[in-house]
Amino acid sequence: MAKDIDLLYIYDAEMDWATRSSNRHDADMVVGIEGGVKGLKDTFEKFLSDRLTFRRVTFETHGNEGAIFFGNEKGNRQVDAKVLKDSFTGYDALFPEYAKMMFSGCNVADGKAGWPFLETAAQVFLTRSGGKTAGWTSVGFAWGANLPAIVGGVIYDHIYAGHVWHPWGDLHTVWMGPGGSPILHYTN
């Protein structure tokens, strides 16, 4: 029998604010990824073998238009639409009906590659049961890394550690029904 987990929080354990990201208090499971794209894929393989499922997933990484990043190793760092299709097909069993995926990296949903990245993530991970993928069109600021010194110190650090704040830009969301259609776009 599968073990259902509400919120999985995945972060790049090699990024500059990783120690603060590991303190995400509202997550049911916090996983730091080392080893770039290969490390993420190995983690998903372990989730499959452990028969885990996730209703919500947040990826906290650096980002750019249509991509997120894990680690610094050239050729093993960037996860874009092509890498999703080539390396992550077959993990849709991890995400039950109407799962939600948030990509909190800077500018992930921006530019010509933004919508295709979110669509591909939905097609790769959520086709079986449907759900939502979302990402921001702007730069984000990580609570616990660069914001507590500005707005409140220890209290905010405890409550918001592992959260990314996007004070401008839009949240783009792709919704996909079970079986892969329809795909709808909306902006908040």
Q: Is 0.85 topped by the overall pTM?
A: yes
Q: Which residues of 128-151 are buried (b: 16+ CB within 10 A; e: fewer)?
A: bbbbbbbbbbeebebbbbebbeee
Q: Which residues contact 20 (CB under 8 A, 6 or more apart)?
A: 142, 143, 144, 145, 157, 161, 162
Q: Where are the domains of the chain?
A: 3-187
Q: By percentage, how much of the chain surpasses pLDDT 70?
A: 84
Name the residue among 106, 94, 105 with its Cα closest to residue 52. Answer: 94
Q: pLDDT value at position 107?
A: 97
Q: Which two tokens stand for residue 5?
A: 């987990």
Model confidence at 147, in pLDDT bands (50, 70, 90)?
very low
Smallest CA-to-CA distance from 45 within 61, 56, 62, 33 is with 33
Helices (H) then strands (E): counts for the chain:
5, 12
Read off the amino acid at residue 159.
I
C-alpha distances in angstroms, 42 versus 49, 85, 87, 88, 109?
A: 11, 16, 11, 10, 25
- Model pLDDT for residues 45-76, shown as the tens digit of each residue: 999 999 999 999 999 999 999 999 998 888 89
